[in-house]
Amino acid sequence: MTELSTFLEQVWLARVVILKGLGVTVSISLLAIVAGSILGVFVGLSLVYGNKLLRFVVRAYTDFIRGTPVLVLVLASYYVLSTIGIELGPFQAGVLALAIFCSSHVGEIVRGGLQAIPQGQTEAAKAIGLTFVQTFAYVLWPQALRQFLPAWVNTAAEMVKASTLLSVIGVAELLLRTQEIISRNFMSLQFYFFAGLLYFVINYSIERFGKYVERKTAVPS
């Protein structure tokens, strides 16, 4: 019982630091997911509808990024970019690396969602006189959206977890903040468990949000 009260006392003592770390983790993940998803939709569209050259370039981009460990992307955007005169702070470099990583995954998800729709539907849309834009907006996109939502939620949760890697370049996100607290009070098990709980809360919220959007977009039956 005394152990629990010492732990709670330490949590209370570190509350501001924990909240700051949580704030940084949430904002990095949010920025990376939003930017990565927007970019990813363009990547997906290029993969499906682009001409040969565009498809080739974007395919090379997604394969290269997806085949690279996130840690390497993080280090590259922090160190390599500065050698060509682009000076990014740790936070900016981290968001950039995660957004790029996110975009390659979202791109593949979008491509898969669109290509899973039978060719017959595009033909049918053409037959009733819809333009390409109309076909896309009213026939293909709403169906693809339902296809890729679960996978997208998965990717978003991956981004939150990948944000822990940014501690390597000195971004004071939740994990680094937790390590700072542990180095002061030596309560590693308790505080790592607590951090794990907070990560779970973030990811659970994302999952609930995804479920909500899925319900909203579901075909009424």
Smaller CB separation from another protein, 2 or 119? 2
| Residues at the interface with another protein (CB under 8 A) | 13-14, 16-17, 20, 72, 75-76, 79-80, 82-85, 90, 167-170, 172, 176, 179-184, 186-189
Return the residue matching tokens 């957004």: 99
How big is the chain by its Cα radius of gyration, in Å? 21
- CB of 48 or CB of 75, closer to another protein: 75
CB 142 within 8 A of CB 61: no
Comparing CB distances to another protein, the nearer of 16 and 53 is 16
CA distance 156 to 54: 26
Q: Which amino acid is at 109?
A: I
Q: How far is the CB of 21 from another protein (least distance, A)?
A: 11
For 183, the token pair is 């180095």
User: Closest approach of Cβ 11 to another protein, in Å?
Assistant: 12
As measured in angstroms, the least distance from the Cβ of 162 to another protein is 16
CB of residue 39 vs another protein: minimum separation in angstroms? 25
**77 vs 203 by CB, closer to another protein:** 77
- At residue 220, what are phi and psi to the nearest 5 degrees? -65, 135
What residue type is 62 in one-letter code?
Answer: T
The C-alpha atoms of residue 42 and residue 213 are separated, in whole angstroms, by 21
